[in-house]
Structure 1
């Protein structure tokens, strides 16, 4: 793959560009964005080699789409219209079902690979891009059987070479599971941040008491609302299901507190400690 076009050059697109270029110095990274300022910044940071537009996609060997998921749903058919028969388009969206449905009947569906590299930070924009972001991280690939084998083979090697583990899943299962392990985490962080901010209006000293535990828990509340609102919208049904279960657990914990049942609270926390063994096994 010689010519790679990155549509969206923020944390994910920019970090992919850095590591792909590191492993493949001869590759030319072309950047596409709605904002010229984003392209200028990406050039100054050496994330991309050249600016480009959608009309240039006929020259692409690989197109990496890492923009908000609502924009991906709208733009993806046009991108597929413009690529050559030998070009491949991949997306990095945190939802998969609506994106896959948007192109399920497209004549060039075989030129699209739906994926979700599960990696990131709370930061956004070109300056957030870092080397090694995907080392040891999982890349979920959906509907791989619908992508031309020779194209998927090249792309999956490219992503494996930068340290990603490949796992296959259908879009429905992906969206259901990611609601629990990612989307709920972000909602929890946003709402914890809101709760503390609302309280801080009356108690100015509260942030002086905020230690590393609070900072790590609320870290995700610094994430981009422009990116996360469309994710919650596309995955609404699954997110609501996770919220109902989470709220039920919070309510149960509150009732244990009210009844002074601290033995039960201890047991709840002790049983949940098992999650460290699970996480240690996948880290």
Structure 2
């Protein structure tokens, strides 16, 4: 692998580049970001070796790491630009609409739908770091529709970055992510909002905010520019997740209101099994 091009030079795109350049010291990384400041910072930080609006004809892989609502347009534009030996991989958090959009594109075989399960609550090129992706899961969708030769380029990159590959169909991906990622971000944002509203008449509230609050609300520091598009792009699945979550909140509220201590205890004890599930996932 000699050259990659990255569109979107924030946390994810930047971290991919830093990790790839560490593994392939001679790798040329060109890139573009709609933010002139992000693009300049990416050059200064060594995320890209040269700023370019479009990938060169001999680029091996183009990575798309822009907000979810821009990926469709950029994916089509990029597929129209590239030569026969270039693979385009998107890193977006939603997959169904993208896969449907390019289903009949003449260069469909040069596209791979991907989603690395990695990130922090910080954004921009200054937040990028080479170890972000190390040991993380990379979900791939509709792998059979990607050209065999081009898939080998992707595998070379993923193996070098120590990514663990998992395979899903796009609808399954979006449905699961609504529950395990998108819903948790909404919960964190809304908890932050509730506390901010309380602060309006009680400035002392943050004096009592311990580590539990900090860890729960951490995701509310995430980029609105990234998350607002995700919430609308995966709307149907997120609404289903929210309906279940709101129903559970209402049910526990009723039990608290009725002082049903034993019932509350039993419910919390049953939910404790999530510890075993999460610990198993770390293994």
TM-score (norm 2): 0.98
Give a deviation string over 1:105-148, Cα, whole Å, max 9, x none: 11100000000001000100000101211122111100000000
Alignment-derived partner of residue 108 in structure 1: 107
1:57 & 1:175 partners in 2: Cα distance?
Answer: 32
Partner of 2:80: 81
Mapped pair 1:221 → 2:220: yes
Q: How does 1:127-206 map to 2 (within 5 A)?
A: 127-206=126-205
The answer (yes or no) to whether the contact 1:160–1:166 under 8 Å persists in 2 is: no
- Is the Cα–Cα contact under 8 Å of residues 58 and 85 in structure 2 kept in the other structure? no
State the 1:59 CA deviation. 3.0
Distance 1:205 1:189 in 2: 20
d(CA) in 2 for partners of 1:252, 1:228:
28
In the alignment, the residues of structure 1 paired with residue 114 and residue 155 of structure 2 have an alpha-carbon distance, to the nearest angstrom, of 10
**Cα deviation 1:5-33 (Å, max 9, x = unaligned):** 01011100000101111111111011111
Shifted more, 112-121 versus 225-234: the winner is: 225-234
1:84-95 equivalences in 2 (<5 Å): 84-95=83-94
Is 1:60 aligned with 2:59? Answer: yes
Q: What is the deviation of 1:192?
A: 0.3
Secondary structure of the structure 1 residue equivalent to 2:57: helix
Aligned-partner SS, 1:176: helix
| RMSD of aligned residue pairs (Cα, Å) | 0.9
> How far apart, in 2, do the equivalents of 1:210 and 1:195 lie?
13
Which consecutive unaligned segments of at least 5 residues does structure 2 have? none
1:115, 1:133 → 2: CA distance?
16
Report SS of the residue matched to 2:251: helix
Question: Following the alignment from structure 1 to structure 2, what is the Cα–Cα distance between the partners of residues 53 and 135?
Answer: 28
The answer on whether the counterparts of 1:73 and 1:99 sit within 8 Å (CA) in structure 2 is yes
TM, length-normalised to structure 1: 0.98
Matched-pair contact (CA < 8 Å) for 2:188–2:218: yes
Aligned residues: 282
Cross-structure match for 2:34: 34
Poorly superposed stretches of 4+, deviation over 4 Å: none
What is the alpha-carbon distance in structure 2 between the residues aligned to residue 142 and residue 244 of structure 1? Answer: 27
Q: Deviations over 1:204-257 (max 9, x none)?
A: 100111111101100101111111111111110000000000011111101111
CA distance in 2, matches of 1:279, 1:135: 19
Separation of aligned partners in 1, 2:139 and 2:156:
14
Q: Distance in 2 between matches of 1:120 and 1:206?
A: 29
Contact 1:76 1:102 (C-alpha < 8 Å) held by counterparts: no
Aligned counterparts of 2:44 and 2:71: Cα–Cα separation in 1 = 26
SS at match of 2:114: strand
Please state how far the C-alpha of 1:35 moved relative to its aligned partner. 2.5
Counterpart-to-counterpart distance in 2, 1:110 and 1:57: 19
**1-structure distance, mates of 2:205, 2:56:** 52
Distance in 2 (alpha carbons) for counterparts of 1:252 and 1:36: 49
The residue that corresponds to 2:25 in the other structure is 25
Q: Relative to structure 2, which stretch is displaced further, 164-173 or 265-274?
A: 265-274
Name the CA distance, whole Å, in 1 between partners of 2:62 and 2:56: 8
